[in-house]
Amino acid sequence: RPLLDPPPPLPALHTSVGFSIFAFLAALYLVPALGPSFVKANLKGRDLLKVYSDPIPESQGLICAAIYILLLILFIPFPFSNSIANLPTKGTHLEGLLGAASLHHELSVYLSSLLSLLMATLLGFLDDVFDIRWRHKLPIPLIAAIPLLMVYHAEGGNTHVVVPIPLRPLFGVLLNLGPLYYLYMALLSTFTTNSINILAGINGSEVSQALIIGISVILNDLLYLPWPIDFRIPLHLLGSQAEVDVGGPWRAGMAYGSSQLVSRHLFSLYFMLPLVGVCLGFMYHNWYPARAFPGDTLCYVTGMAFSVVGIQGHFSKTLLLFFIPQIFNFVLSCPQIFGLVPCPRHRVPRFDPDTNLLHPSTAQFSQPPSKLTTLILRVFASLRLTKLKFHPSNGAIVEATNLTILNFLLVNLGPMNEKELVQTLMAVQVSEDGDVVGFWINYEIRSQVVY
């Protein structure tokens, strides 16, 4: 438990909102201003789904990461100067020491998070420049997560999970996963960074995912602040049946140490608000037809920011619920990522220049697939996840649509243009995340289990 009461949230929160507006304006201005320098440094790409082939500045997520991380560093004095001012000066020597230890702990949470974000930026940029192989780039986010995990451990972090009701006779209500929980958190950073990167390739797709997940995390955080009033927000506008009780989780959590809950969710807000600002500014230039590409840098830094707040804020399981479209896309992609189905360099939909429409792109089999691959693809096809073509004489699979959520949407909803496809993707993410905010919060209040 923190020994100090959380600092009064509003002054630092106001600053954070101010910083995120600045982040938005900085991205809005700097992305086009620095575009020519990126092209000159050969950081450019061709838009695969257009008729023209003008070079588009690539890896501009680097600008976003620079604005974001610099602002997070400039922000350090705001929440912490409050804690410093609150250090007990009159109490006993021991009280003074405990207060300082608590402040050091909060600072180490913040600084280890910055370290992980910097590692992610470096990895993303190296990937943009050198096109790192999968097997080489997978373990790096694992290493980048070590500082986060050590800090989590140092505060005696929780490693229990709530057991689903049918399994409770076997395991009890809470199960301690111990070291396995640390493995799970390390894998989380690999997942959040890569899952945004493989749901990519149409204008606005990468940054819109980051934007919607960021806003969802912010909404979730706001519920944990000690709002003085009790009011409910219906989520009908987001196509959801759920209702959100503002401040409900905070009231439910009071018995479990509300000051801890508040400071964790404040921490998350400090990291999410400028991220949303920077993403919104970048999205203006990345929107169809894109004048700037995010590159892997943006995917990695935003993904790592989500892991950071999920782990440090102790809501990594809720966080994963905001990634359901990414989990779907990852599971669907597994046969291609793990080599059962051929994986072309680009799995983006196929562009028809005559109609300006996107169609599902395909992977071709040069030789008949194995029994396992055939079985998986047939199951996928029966679930309408892919469309197959068979050899006319021996019946072997010769072609499958690429296993991504974008192709899945095109297989099921028919051809559409790039802007419609990204809007559909965003609608899926918004409605799913909106549902999660509502249902998960209600569930948490009912079960009164708040970490």
Comparing CB distances to Mg ion, the nearer of 245 and 296 is 296
Binding test (CB under 6 A) with ligand UD1, winner from 18, 32, 45, 157: 45
Q: How far apart are alpha carbons 160 and 368 in whole angstroms?
A: 46
Q: What tokens appear for 340 in the block? A: 């059962």
Binding test (CB under 6 A) with ligand UD1, winner from 48, 107, 163, 175: 48
Q: Sketch the per residue contact string, 53 through 82, with ligand UD1: x for CB under 6 A, - otherwise.
A: -----x------------------------
Lookup result for tokens 């997520």 = 61
Q: What is the DSSP string of 346-372?
A: --PPEEETTTTEEE--EEE-SSPPPHH
Closest approach of ligand UD1 to the CB of residue 185, in Å: 24
Binding test (CB under 6 A) with ligand UD1, winner from 245, 296, 433, 444: 296
Q: Sketch the per residue contact string, 201 through 220, with ligand UD1: x for CB under 6 A, - otherwise.
A: xxx-----------------
Asked whether the beta carbons of 208 and 200 are under 8 A apart, the reply is no
30 binds ligand UD1 (CB under 6 A): no
Q: How far apart are alpha carbons 279 and 208 in whole angstroms?
A: 8
Strands 231-234 and 243-246: antiparallel
Residue 48 binds which entry of ligand UD1, Mg ion, none, with Cβ cut-offs from 5 to 8 Å by kind? ligand UD1
Binding test (CB under 6 A) with ligand UD1, winner from 27, 71, 123, 200: 200
Q: What is the dihedral of CA 379, 382, 387, 392, to 10 degrees?
A: 80
Closest residue to bound ligand UD1 by CB:
45
Q: Which phi and psi angles does 359 have, rounded to 5°?
A: -120, 160
Q: Specify burial of residue 63 (Cβ count, 10 A radius: 0-12, 13-18, 19+).
A: buried
Asked whether the beta carbons of 200 and 206 are under 8 A apart, the reply is yes
Q: How far apart are alpha carbons 107 and 270 in whole angstroms?
A: 13
Binding test (CB under 6 A) with ligand UD1, winner from 14, 232, 346, 378: 346
290 binds ligand UD1 (CB under 6 A): yes
Count how many residues are written for the chain: 451
The residue count for binding ligand UD1 (CB under 6 A) is 19
Comparing CB distances to ligand UD1, the nearer of 245 and 296 is 296
Asked whether the beta carbons of 198 and 303 are under 8 A apart, the reply is no
Q: How far apart are alpha carbons 422 and 443 in whole angstroms?
A: 31
31 binds ligand UD1 (CB under 6 A): no
The maximal CA–CA distance of the chain, rounded, in angstroms, is: 89
Binding test (CB under 6 A) with ligand UD1, winner from 137, 264, 314, 347: 347
Q: What tokens appear for 164 in the block? A: 């689903």
The binding site for Mg ion (CB under 5 A) comprises 197, 296
293 binds ligand UD1 (CB under 6 A): yes
Closest approach of Mg ion to the CB of residue 296, in Å: 4
406 binds ligand UD1 (CB under 6 A): no
Residue 104 binds which entry of ligand UD1, Mg ion, none, with Cβ cut-offs from 5 to 8 Å by kind? none
Comparing CB distances to ligand UD1, the nearer of 202 and 301 is 202
Q: How far apart are alpha carbons 64 and 66 in whole angstroms?
A: 5
Asked whether the beta carbons of 320 and 190 are under 8 A apart, the reply is no
262 binds ligand UD1 (CB under 6 A): no
Comparing CB distances to Mg ion, the nearer of 320 and 348 is 348
> What's the Rg (C-alpha) of the chain?
23
Closest approach of ligand UD1 to the CB of residue 59, in Å: 9
**Residues within the interface to ligand UD1 (CB under 6 A):** 45-49, 58, 197-198, 200-203, 290, 293, 296, 333, 346-348
